[in-house]
Copies of this chain bind each other. A is one copy, B any other.
Amino acid sequence: MANEVKLHGIAESLFVCGVKTALNLKDVKYEFVVEDLSNKSADLLKYNPVYKKVPVLVHNGNPISESLVIVEYIDEVWKGVPILPQDAYEKAQARFWAKVVNDKCFPAVVNAFSSNGEEQAVAEAHEALQFLENELKVKGSKFFGGDNINLVDIAATFVAFWIGAAEEALGIEVMSKHKFPKLTEWSDNYINCQAVKDSLPPRENVVSYFKKRFGKA
């Protein structure tokens, strides 16, 4: 069977990079189809009519949307390094924490930057990130996944790379090393994984992306 894998995305999207990391972990070769989000392709609109967003993975012509759904699909289809735990309870915990990262931490952090560092918004971002800090403390491991990265680490890509770039772009501190020592250590470990490194865009591109997005350029 042909094994054609295409990933529609933009280099600066953390959700796209999470999917790239999963593909890299499984050593899957793929074609990266760059989308222009100000002028979305007919393919993107056809593949993801509900959200019209990237990433979309197209495997042998079958489109899959939503980053965590895509990562679970990749884990199931391609064997090798597992991205989700095998044990049903640990798997449920990983899914729960990935959801916390995506649905609670990410919007809180975006809001802290969007509000230009407004005190209450930053406090809410801290409160959300504190759950991740505590989880790392309780686990006492290098990654959320233990010795190796898993679904939660991939979901938290924005913590490791995008927060620092947005802080630099906007001159606002949202995640201080002092307040989040475990998350800071985790970030360093995470972005030094080869599969992650190979998925990330140059930092300066992300900084200038945020400057544009938040009207600082």
Chain A residues in contact with chain B, CB under 8 A?
Answer: 49-51, 59, 62, 64-66, 69-70, 72-73, 76-77, 88-89, 91-93, 95-96, 99-100, 103-104, 131
Contact = CB atoms under 8 A, between A and B. Distances in A.
Given A50-B100, A76-B88, 7 more contacts: A50-B131, A64-B93, A66-B96, A69-B96, A72-B92, A72-B95, A76-B91
Contacts of A72: 92, 95
11 contacts: A50-B131, A59-B89, A62-B89, A64-B92, A65-B96, A66-B99, A69-B92, A69-B96, A72-B92, A73-B92, A76-B88
Contacts of A89: 59, 62, 64, 73
Nearest to A49: B131
Nearest to A62: B89
A96 B73 CA distance: 11
B88 A69 contact: no
Contacts of A62: 89
Contacts of A91: 73, 76
A59 B91 CA distance: 14
A65 B69 CA distance: 18
A143 to B, nearest CB: 19
Contacts of A59: 89
A131 B91 CA distance: 30
Contacts of A104: 50-51
Given A89-B59, A89-B64, A69 B50 contact: no
A50 B50 CA distance: 29
5 interchain residue pairs of minimum CB distance: A73-B92, A76-B88, A69-B95, A64-B92, A69-B96
